[in-house]
Each structure stands twice: as C-alpha cells, then as structure tokens.
Amino acid sequence: MAHWPEGPVCSTCYHRALSAKGTCPACRQIRRLLRYPGFTEAICRDCAGATDDHVCGQCGAEEALQQRGLCGRCVLGRRLSELLGDEAQRARVGLDGLFDALHGARSAKDTLRWLADSPATPILARIASGELPCSHDTFDALDPNLAVRHLQHLLVATGALPRRDPGLARLERWIEAFLTIHPDPALRTFAHWIVLRRCRRTSNRAPLGDGTINHAKRELRSAAALLDWLAGRDTSLASIKQADVDAWLAGPLPDRYVARSFARWAIERELTPKLEFPAGRKTAITPALAVHDRVALAQRLLHEGGIETRDRVAGVLVVLFAQPVTRIASLTLDDIAIDHDTVAIRFGETAVTLPPPLAGHLGELIADRRERAAASLPARRWLFPGGSAGRPIGALSLSRRLKRLGIDCHARRLAALVEIAGHVPAPVLADLLGINILTATRWAEIAGRPWGDYPTLRSRSNGR
C-alpha cells in the first residue's frame, strides 16, 4: 500500500501511475501527471513545484524505480553490460545487435526476469566471454531444448548468427543420427542425394514446414524398414524379385507404399532389377461440408466475442479463403495493402480486397500484433509473430489453436476449395488463392466446373 496526497492506493495503481504519461495542461510537455494539493487537475511535478521523487537517478526518467534508485531500463542496461561485456567486447563477438534489441525491449522488467530465469543465460555468458564460439555448430552440439532454440533464433534475428532454415538444419541432424543406426550404403546415398537435395531446393524458396520434414523422415524410415525386411528374408536389393515386392506391399506396415520412392531410385540406379512398385491408393477427398455450416462458422469467427484477433483472422482465412495454415503462418506485412478504408491481402498474383468486418479485424491484428519474445526487434514483419525472436508462429501451433475453436483446418480448407471452385473459373482460382493452375483445374473438375467452362463464364461476365 502506498500513499498519495489524495489518499492510499494499491500497489498496482501505484506503479501504473508512476509510469503513466500525459500532456501537462500547464507546460504542454509529455510528463508524469499527478494531482497535487492546491491544483484542480493533474499536472507535472515541475509545474506543481514538487520535489523530484520517484525519478531515475541515472537517466532522470519519471518511471517506477526498479533497484537502488534506478528505473528498469537502466537496471537492464547494467545487467546486459555485465552479461555481454562492454561495447568493445560486444563488437568483437558480434553481440551489439543483441544488446540493442534486449535493451529496447517492450518491458525491461520482463526482460530482466527472462535473463534471471532462462537456462540459456549461462550459455549466452559463455559466448559473450569467448569461451564458446558464436556459431550454429555450438548450438547444434547443445541440448536442443526450447530455451536454447529461443536464444539461437534471437542471435539470428539480431545478426550475431547467419540466417539458415532451422527446419532443414534439424532434418540434416536427424538424418545423420538415423544413418548411424541404419548404415546401409544405398540408404545413405538415397538420403543425401535424393531426400536432402530435394529438401534443400525447397528450402531455397521457403523454410521447410513440418509436413515436408515429416514426409522426408517417413521416406527414410520406410526405406530402412524395406531393407531390414529384405535382410530378414536373406534377400538383397540386387536379388529382389517381384514376389518380394508384392509380399512387402501386402504386409502390415502402414508406410509400406512410401518406400516406392526409394525402390524407384534403386531401379533407376540399376541397384535392383526392373520391378513394378505401385503407388497405392490415393487418399479420398474429404466430402464437402454443408454451405450453411461453413457460413455459420465464418459468422462466429467474424462476430462472436472472446476470440483472439489472430485466431479470428487465421480461422477466416482457412474457412473463407481456403488457405493452408503453412501459408497463413508465413504471411508478412508485405502481403497486406491498406489504402484509406480499403484493406487487401495477397495470396497469389492479384490481391483480394477484404470486406468488413474482416478488414477491421486484420487492421486490429496489424496494430496490436507483437513479438512474443523477450526482445523487441526492429524487423517486425510477420503478420503472426511466433514465440521465437524473428520467427513466425509455427504452422502446427497455429493449427492447434484453431482446433480449439472447433476448426479442422484440413477439412475446412477442402470444403472452401470445393465451394469457391464451383463459382470461380480455374485460372482465376489459381490467381487469387495462390495455387498451381493444375491444382485449380482439378478442384474445378471436382466441383463440377471443368476448364472448358471458362470461356463461357468469361463471356457471360462480359455481358456477351
């Protein structure tokens, strides 16, 4: 409990008042305003002739004092200097950007708490002192827990470490560990020259998603299982017969058909005889959900209270615009265009103008979005920032959040694709939603509107 001239106040109100600022009605400066005796409205201490209470002894800021007469920002600066060294030391190690980002964090108090509690702080101290090199190899050799990964992302975001695809790096480490357990030479060649090479090409365009990484792991696990199964039958790749392939495919393993990519590669390399290895049955398309059910869900997302703005916007992009969560998670401010009262978002070549109230929700998300990390970074470009500095929210994490709202992202996206494809020509569908033209044509056929309908539809739209 604290006591102001007008009476006692609770601790929460006390600290909030010490940090609050406003325009002083007397001097018109942005200052801390309090109601002093003899004045009818809140004014600054200088205009009231009051003493310099609760002012930082180092920077003079009118803030709640954190420690020994210093505000939280000055305490944080001293703590960071103790941890990271002086300016010359930070420059040698490359931690100047990290110092600036942490010192400029939204909340000095939260950052001080993070430095005190995080298991990664001792690692950061060893890097700052030069005991550990500031490199990705250093982090790859550490226990890959969340605190270590968060620090690694923070160092990347502040320029201390070079940028790389963390998903690709994890996959590379996983493959090396996997190959120590399954040392077959053919499997190693397939892993490095087919699986990893393909994933690296994909990573050059965009960071690897969980689906791509999991598929690569399934391919290698299935190939290793096939080799182990053949070894159990005293059969090698060179001596495999069609009867062996048929027996393998008839077996109980759920991923037995996934070994087809390895088998086809072995056939092309003449490591095995030319055999038939079918692809297996494709997964059936999820039946379209009722239109009224989709509309009701969209209405709930747009209008119902108690839904976080980021979940509200992400859910609508799935339900109404058929966007996969992987693309939603990677949206940036560059994909949004705001011109006066018009808000547009770009999935493909042409931006889509958003109607109210979705446009308002998206504007609110842009205004209120923030990094959910200890540091406030200058390059805040992600529409859906994640928990690690400089990284977007993970697609799996976003999918789980939407699932708690009753949104099955896969089923809802397919339902939206079928509905939209039934009303929009395939070329327009591909352009607006950012999907391949062949994929758009396939969905148009599923919706009962094949490619051949496009000229007729275009003529009708032009009034001919």
What is the rounded distance in angstroms from the CA atom of residue 430 to the CA atom of residue 18? 55
Residue 449 domain-assigned (yes or no): no
Residue 431 domain-assigned (yes or no): no
Q: Is the overall model pTM greater than 0.85, yes or no?
A: no
Strands 70-71 and 2-4: unpaired
Q: What is the pLDDT of residues 113-143, one digit of tens each?
A: 999 999 999 999 999 999 999 999 999 889 8
Residue 321 domain-assigned (yes or no): yes
Residue 153 domain-assigned (yes or no): yes
What is the rounded distance in angstroms from the CA atom of residue 166 to the CA atom of residue 150? 11
Q: How many CA atoms lie within 13 A of 150 on its CB side?
A: 17
41, 34 Cβ separation under 8 angstroms: no
Integer angstrom CA distances of residue 172 from 8, 17, 181, 263, 378: 61, 52, 15, 22, 30
Region for residue 385 given its phi and psi (left: phi exceeds 0; alpha: psi -120 to 50; beta: otherwise): beta
The domain total for the chain is 4
Same domain, 333 and 408: yes
Comparing CA positions, the residue from 265, 278, 222 lying closest to residue 230 is 222
Tell me the H-state helices in 206-258.
Answer: 210-232, 242-249
Same domain, 330 and 302: yes
Residue 447 domain-assigned (yes or no): no
Q: Which helix (H) or strand (E) holds 315?
A: helix 309-319
Residue with the two structure tokens 């009034």:
463
What is the rounded distance in angstroms from the CA atom of residue 341 to the CA atom of residue 350? 19
Same domain, 153 and 170: no
What is the rounded distance in angstroms from the CA atom of residue 425 to the CA atom of residue 444? 7
* Residue-level pLDDT, tens digit, the chain, 464 residues: 566 656 677 877 777 777 788 999 999 999 988 888 888 888 888 898 888 778 888 888 888 888 888 998 999 999 999 999 999 999 999 999 999 989 988 888 889 999 999 999 999 999 999 999 999 999 988 987 888 988 998 999 889 999 898 889 999 999 999 999 999 999 999 999 999 999 999 998 878 887 889 999 999 999 999 999 999 999 999 999 999 999 999 988 888 999 999 999 999 999 999 999 988 755 444 445 567 788 899 999 999 999 999 999 999 999 999 999 988 998 999 999 988 789 999 998 889 999 999 999 999 998 876 655 554 454 458 899 887 777 788 888 899 999 999 999 988 998 888 888 888 888 988 898 988 888 888 888 887 755 455 445 444 444 44
Residue with the two structure tokens 């182990």:
228
Same domain, 299 and 402: yes
Residue 427 domain-assigned (yes or no): no
Q: What is the pLDDT of residues 20-43, one digit of tens each?
A: 889 999 999 999 888 888 888 888
What is the rounded distance in angstroms from the CA atom of residue 360 to the CA atom of residue 357? 5
Residue 78 lies in domain? 72-157
C-alpha 210: how far from its chain's center?
Answer: 11
